[in-house]
Amino acid sequence: MSAREAALAKTYDPAGTESRWQQAWETCGAFHPDPAAPGEPFAVVIPPPNVTGSLHMGHAFNTALIDTIVRYRRLAGNNVLCLPGTDHASIAVQTILEKQLKAAGQRKEDLGREAFLEKAWAWKAESGGTIVGQLRRLGYSVDWQRERFTLDAGCSAAVVEAFNRLHEQGLIYRGEYLVNWCPASGSAVSDLEVEMKEVDGHLWHFRYPLSGGSAAAASSGRTHLEVATTRPETLLGDTAVAVNPRDPRYAHLVGQTLTLPLVGRQIPIVADDHVDAEFGTGCVKVTPAHDPNDFAIGQRHDLPLITVMAKDGTMNEAAGRFAGLDRFDARQAVVAAMEAEGYLVKVEPYRHSVPFSDRGKVPVEPLLSTQWFVKTEPLAARCREALDAATGANPRFVPERWAKVYRDWLTDIRDWCISRQLWWGHRIPAWFVVSETGGLITDSTPYVVARDELEARAKAEQQFGCGTHAHPLVLEQDPDALDTWFSSGLWPFSTLGWPDADAADLERWYPTSVLVTGFDIIFFWVARMTMMAGALMGDGLAGDGSPDGSRDGNPAAWIPFRDVYIHGLVRDENNRKMSKSAGNGIDPLLLIERYGADALRFALVREVAGAGQDIRLDYDRTSDTSATVEASRNFANKLWNVTRFALMNLGGETPASLGQPEPAHLQLADRWILSRLARVNRETAERYASYGLGEAAKGLYEFAWNEVCDWYVELIKRRLNPGENPSPDALVDQRTARQVLAKVLQELLLMLHPLMPHLSEELWHGLTGQPVETFLSLQRWPVLDVAALDDVLESSFAELIEAIRVVRNLRAVAGLKPSQSAPVQFVTGRPTLAALLTAATADITALTRAERVDVLSAQQGSRQRALAGVSGELQVLLPIEGLVDLDALRARLDKDIAKADKEIKGLAGRLANPNFADKAPPEVVAECRANLAEAEAQALLARQRLADLD
């Protein structure tokens, strides 16, 4: 049922309307752009949510903002591409599947890689569409035909190509380093996937005896050093104790040897600047294979690395009698043993930070292992240069302050561990020449990086010679997968057709226009995308990975987005970040069901006025209601009804059939609303274009409700219904009112469209009678009518409104029933104001239930008893003898007097200050004098009226 047919429904029902338009848009391919189409390109690739995910408020918020921007751009005439997709969420998906397997008593190894991946794809096919379907319910104007998935053929090809090129440039290497090991997922994770958490633990103090026969031991009288640790189980892997080189207490012991308790290993005392002499005893046990700081110390002093833990988090053979114990059980056991053997000095409660795996939710173990890394510094350096380019920041952050966060992260950046011991993901395009190492992949097995196995074989043959029958060349692809963010880092160009440099989409829409995202993924995503682009979309780096110096091109050509618009997070009513783990999420779908997608979108955008600020969404969990969203729903309903009013009053005509109003026929109210319309048009376009989305929403809300509905529509009701046998003039007037109303509404709907796409589409069709497949979404932003702008008119209209308000207030104060009419007198000494009021007599009569309206000069002012109010230079009188509540009236006048007196006091005080007149700008002083004169006149008038009452 269209708006036209449903003209009698009193309230807007979003459910049916929204799904109908979503379907129509998609069926018609409304948002499927042609790269060859005209218009300045405008592209946004949306931050791909996890396929595992379901829609949460953060997605809804991000979507509302992006869609508002791109819908505006479409109206503004850009050739807009908004490209959706999902990422494959390596760890998350694998965790889900392994859980399912475990429930069935299986492990993935039982299935084998191939079968496991089949299962994974089946799972993806089944539940991967959830979030995408939910995004559709928001009315997202993305090109679904271009929807991408990080594991699809195109993205996968991009990953292989990117890996190869980075490797060729020396930006990817393989090596044995201490990495963050997540025992829960059985994989390495990157630094970013580790979250430090404050934990209540203990600090154990242990005695490490100096080795017997030590000369220093004898001379100093010391028999041991005391060390403290939060992780006793690691002492099994200690290979030194470090002290500060300038610590006088221990200087003479450096170079001596200690006997490691429980193990008996002889370990040296080394001097290292890392040690803080002030902290604890000033002695630190060094476990290079299990702590990043210790690893660094170990490298400086050439200490052996002793790994005492296996990858599943249990102690290994090197842990001696503790082998096989889980790391936390081992901790207890080691402490018990130390105590039993007299090495435990004391235990203190200790609050400290422990690294946790984001996904696995268990403490991460720093573990020595061979992994693939991206050498980040050359890439980061290039991004820093782009950000600080003399020609302007690339990308430009909105709000600007986020640029600092981004730059800080790109400074002192550590290499990025990209290999994951997982199956679900992009398999690393490296092939080990296992025939060289007896069929096994070891840390020293040679490998080749290639696009596919054929290329790998060719490369291997070149390097290792052709295989013979006796010694066939056997290759085995690296079993590991890549970090999901590796593929996400390619998203802005892999989705546009890269590595095909001639891809039409890439040519047309790269670099993209803006990236809209929360600040929580600046590092995960923004920085990695810019780094990847630096290596792959520019003109390359030198072979050793250092900037080749030859690049003088503009970073704007390769940085993947011109702007980065950073928005806040959605917080709950208690100001906590909404998240699944905290269980405080609000389901956007519930709100959509209750209030409509447009209402939710409008509420979210309306709240973001302070860009980059978090927003708080009120929510009542017992009833699943939100006052904020409800207010937006009410606004939608208001728009529905004002359009309904128009449909009932346009005499079956449309904006097109009515045509533009004749300037000569315009009345005061017409010219006023057209001036306002033009002003709002200009403001709103500026706001949309500069990410002032909240302001745009608020401005439109106020214009639509407080000006169009409250005043303009009320003012033209009389003209729209000229009654029986109207005069020719009345008919002209009616037509003019219809023309203006139709124009205002049509443009209002256009301007609101980015915020409330379904409702505006629906109402626009109702208003214009356009066929279904002609979309408001694809119309043009209304042309700004500069000639209509009229400051003087707007301010005198404000005076008229104020005059009407004073009358209404007086009526209310005096207790007049709305149905009672009363005579109104305006007394003013200002001819222009008098003229305005005289011209608007009919309007005032209609809006104040006036019996008659008289505009009098100051001299003519009535002396009879009357309700009296004062506003500026205007006296308003309601001479209704007998009906007057005198006390209320006196109170009202007293209030006027008090208000005027307060203003007089303030203004006079200011003017009395000689410095003010001297130093303040003349126009400010003049304004101050004028205000004072007005306030004095006002006080005088009010006092006179008060005296007249007695």
Annotate 733-767 with b (16+ C-beta within 10 A) or e (fewer).
bbbbbbbbbbbbbbbbbbbbbbbbbbbbbbbbbbb
Cβ contact 289:306 at 8 Å: yes
Cis, peptide link before residue 429, omega less than 30° from 0? no
Q: Output 226 or 785, the one with its CB closest to RNA.
A: 226
CB of 442 to RNA, least distance (A): 30
How far apart CA 26 and CA 320 sit, in angstroms, is: 65
Choice between 6 and 789, CB closer to RNA: 6
Cβ proximity to RNA: between 217 and 907 the closer is 907
Interatomic CA distance for residues 754 and 748, integer angstroms:
11
**How far apart are alpha carbons 223 and 214 in whole angstroms?**
10
Q: Which of 249, 242, 303, 301 is nearest to 271 (CA)?
A: 242
Which helix (DSSP H) or strand (DSSP E) does residue 899 occupy? helix 886-912
Q: Whole-angstrom distance between the N-terminal and C-terminal Cα of the chain?
A: 64
CB of 719 to RNA, least distance (A): 13
**Minimum distance between the CB of residue 472 and RNA, rounded to whole angstroms?**
47
- Considering beta carbons, is residue 549 or 921 the nearer one to RNA? 921
Q: How far is the CB of 858 from RNA (least distance, A)?
A: 24
Which residues 6+ apart lie within 8 Å of 790 measured at CB? 671, 675
CB of 46 to RNA, least distance (A): 22
Q: Which is nearer to RNA, 127 or 931 (CB)?
A: 931
Judged by CB, which is closer to RNA: 283, or 788? 283
- Of 414 and 780, nearer to RNA (C-beta) is 414
- Residue-level length of the chain: 950
Give the CA distances from residue 527 to residues 168, 485, 556, in Å, rounded to whole numbers and listed in that order: 22, 11, 15
729 within 8 A of 709, measured Cβ to Cβ: no
At 410, list the tokens.
Answer: 């790109």
- Indicate the residue among 493 and 519 with the shorter CB distance to RNA: 519
Residue type at 91 in one-letter notation: I
Nearer to RNA, 143 or 799 (CB): 799
Q: Taking the complex as a whole, how short is the minimal distance between the CB of residue 91 and RNA, in angstroms? A: 18
CA pair distance 154, 466, nearest whole angstrom: 33
Which pair of tokens denotes residue 384? 């820093």
Least distance from RNA to the Cβ atom of residue 451, Å: 34
511 upstream amide cis, omega within 30 of 0: yes
**Could you tell me the smallest distance in angstroms from the CB atom of residue 803 to RNA?**
11
Q: What would the two tokens of residue 690 be?
A: 């500069």
In the complex, the smallest distance separating the C-beta of residue 557 from RNA, rounded to whole angstroms, is 29
Instruction: Enumerate long-range contacts of 833-842, CB under 8 Å, 24 or more apart.
Output: 833/796, 833/799, 833/873, 833/874, 836/668, 836/796, 836/799, 836/800, 837/800, 837/803, 839/668, 840/668, 840/800, 842/718
d(CA 856, CA 792): 23
In Å, how far are 134, 138, 573, 586 from 577, measured between CA atoms? 21, 22, 10, 11
Give every CB contact of residue 115 below 8 A, 6+ residues apart in sequence.
none
Instruction: Report the nearest approach of RNA to the CB of residue 636 (Å).
Output: 6
Which tokens sit at 616? 């708080």
Question: Taking the complex as a whole, how short is the minimal distance between the CB of residue 823 and RNA, in angstroms?
Answer: 18
Burial call 428-442: b when 16+ CB within 10 Å, e when fewer: bbbbbbbbbeeeebe
**Beta carbon of residue 162, minimum distance to RNA (angstroms, whole number):** 24
Smallest distance, RNA to C-beta of residue 199, A? 10
**285 vs 457, which CB is nearer to RNA?**
285
Least distance to RNA from the beta carbon of 228, Å?
5
Nearer to RNA, 108 or 676 (CB): 676
Q: Rank residues 563 and 607 by Cβ distance to RNA and give the closer one.
A: 607
Residue 909 bridge partners (DSSP): none
- Exposed, middle or buried by CB within 10 Å (0-12, 13-18, 19+), for 211? middle
Q: Two tokens at 873?
A: 């230079």
To the nearest whole angstrom, how small is the minimum distance from the Cβ of residue 268 to RNA?
Answer: 17
Locus of tokens 């007005």: 934
Which residue, 247 or 548, is less far from RNA as judged by CB? Answer: 247
Pick 596 or 879: Cβ nearer RNA: 596
Pairing outcome for strands 240-243 and 224-229: unpaired
> In angstroms, what is the minimal distance from the CB of 836 to RNA?
18
- Name the minimum Å distance from CB 309 to RNA: 16
State the DSSP string of 70-131: HHHHHHTT-EEEEE-EEB--HHHHHHHHHHHHHHTT--HHHH-HHHHHHHHHHHHHHHTTHH
Which tokens hold the place of 483? 């970090």
Cα-based distances in Å from 854 to 210, 411, 835: 108, 75, 11
CA–CA separation, 429 vs 345, rounded Å?
52
**In this complex, which beta carbon is closest to RNA, that of residue 342 or of residue 610?**
610
94/484 with CB nearer RNA: 484
Q: Name the maximum alpha-carbon separation found in the chain.
A: 125
Instruction: Output the smallest distance, CB 612 to RNA, in A.
Output: 7
